[in-house]
């Protein structure tokens, strides 16, 4: 309005009424998933959200040389399959799948894919929970806080599969078109799911969920705690390329100096 923008498009609400001249109305009884919700703003106001299947999927690409450089930097082998866990969550502790569950899931993966490299990705703030996971299973590589975002993206681009809480890395993996298993507890899996044809979302859909709270208001965190490793592995098994065979010995070198 003050900037002289001729068409000011948006949804009614949040004190925007006087700023907009093309008003859309949301169906408050059933909130839309975010992709069709915002994509609808490109069309005239309608009561029905556009079909999300008609939208082109966002795609990130990473140069093979950058993938090799990132893998070498953290001491991972290009010839061995990589499974990435993203155990962090910026929103709050309620969104985090328990550390013991991630460690148990790693062991289940190794039962069917003993030659897999399993790595934890995240920021420095995610390091405490990642350290808890590695304390329970020392074969897991903790890379939280040890990579720049570009390197984390390159590692995800190399992953056979990514298991992630509701976090930014989940959506990066989806944009890289990697198989993603998204774990939802206090947040709504229908609100902002991974936008990919090869992703899956897992939620117990308890009566108390989605509460959308940073910390469990009931104190039990059952929406994540009762999502057992065996349940997650059951979804994950068909996503893993179990026929892949490594071509060389699996080393575990230390991270190179930058």
> Which DSSP string corresponds to 195-256?
-STTEEEEE---TT-----SS-TTS--HHHHTS-HHHHHHHHGGGS-TT----S----PPPP
What percentage of residues in the chain have a pLDDT greater than 70? 87
| Residue 80: closest CA among 237, 239, 248 | 248
Which pLDDT value is given to residue 49?
60
Q: Is 29 exposed, middle or buried (0-12, 13-18, 19+ CB in 10 A)?
A: exposed
CB 159 within 8 A of CB 141: no
Within a 10 A sphere around the Cβ of 11, how many other Cβ atoms?
Answer: 16
Is pLDDT larger for residue 28 or for residue 25?
A: 25
Give the tokens for residue 215. 């910390």
Q: Are 214 and 91 in contact (CB under 8 A)?
A: yes
Give yes or no for residue 183 having a pLDDT over 60: yes
**In this predicted structure, what is the pLDDT of residue 246?**
61
Domain ranges of the chain: 16-54, 64-239
Based on its alpha-carbon atoms, the radius of gyration of the chain, rounded to whole angstroms, reads: 20
User: What integer best gives the mean pLDDT of the chain?
Assistant: 87
Which structure tokens are listed for 93? 């502790």
Q: How confident is the model at residue 29 (pLDDT cuts 50, 70, 90)?
A: low
The reply to whether omega before 241 is within 30° of 0 (cis) is no
CA distance 248 to 6: 62
Contact, 161 vs 183, CB < 8 A? no
CB 81 within 8 A of CB 160: yes
CA distances to 19, 84, 114, 214 from 155, rounded to whole Å, are: 43, 8, 20, 29
Per the listing, tokens 């010995």 go with: 249
Is 76's pLDDT higher than 80?
A: yes
pLDDT band at 87, cuts 50/70/90?
very high
Q: Decide if pLDDT at 247 tops 60.
A: no
CATH for 64-239 is 3.40.50.2000
DSSP at 83 = E
Instruction: Name the DSSP class of 161.
Output: E
Please, which pLDDT band fits residue 256 given cuts at 50, 70 and 90?
A: very low
**Tokens 């460690």, residue?**
103
Q: pLDDT tens, 190-202? A: 888 888 888 899 9
pLDDT 10s digits, 138-171: 999 999 999 999 999 999 999 999 999 999 999 9
CB atoms within 10 A of CB 189: 20
**What is residue 51's predicted lDDT score, i.e. its pLDDT?**
67
119 within 8 A of 146, measured Cβ to Cβ: no
Range with the largest mean pLDDT of 49-63, 215-229, 244-258: 215-229
| pTM recorded for the entire structure | 0.85
């Amino acid at each position: 309005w003050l900037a002289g923008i001729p068409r000011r498009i948006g949804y009614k609400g949040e004190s925007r009424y006087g700023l907009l001249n093309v008003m859309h109305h949301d169906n408050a009884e059933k909130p839309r998933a975010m992709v069709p919700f915002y994509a609808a703003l490109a069309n005239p106001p309608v009561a029905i959200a556009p079909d999300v299947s008609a939208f082109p999927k966002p795609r990130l690409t990473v140069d093979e040389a950058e993938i090799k450089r990132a893998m070498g930097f953290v001491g991972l082998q290009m010839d061995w399959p990589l499974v990435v866990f993203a155990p962090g969550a910026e929103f709050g502790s309620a969104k985090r799948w328990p550390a013991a569950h991630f460690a148990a899931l790693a062991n289940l993966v190794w039962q069917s894919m003993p030659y897999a490299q399993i790595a934890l990705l995240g920021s420095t703030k995610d390091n405490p929970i990642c350290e808890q996971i590695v304390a329970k299973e020392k074969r897991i590589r903790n890379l939280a806080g040890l990579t720049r975002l570009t390197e984390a993206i390159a590692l995800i681009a190399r992953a056979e599969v990514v298991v992630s809480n509701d976090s930014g890395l989940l959506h990066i993996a989806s944009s890289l078109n990697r198989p993603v298993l998204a774990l939802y507890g206090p947040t709504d899996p229908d609100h902002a799911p991974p936008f990919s044809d090869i992703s899956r979302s897992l939620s117990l859909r308890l009566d108390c969920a989605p509460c959308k709270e940073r910390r469990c208001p009931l104190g039990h965190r059952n929406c994540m705690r009762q999502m057992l490793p065996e349940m997650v592995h059951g979804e994950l098994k068909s996503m893993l390329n179990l026929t892949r065979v490594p071509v060389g010995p699996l080393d575990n070198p230390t991270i190179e100096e930058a």
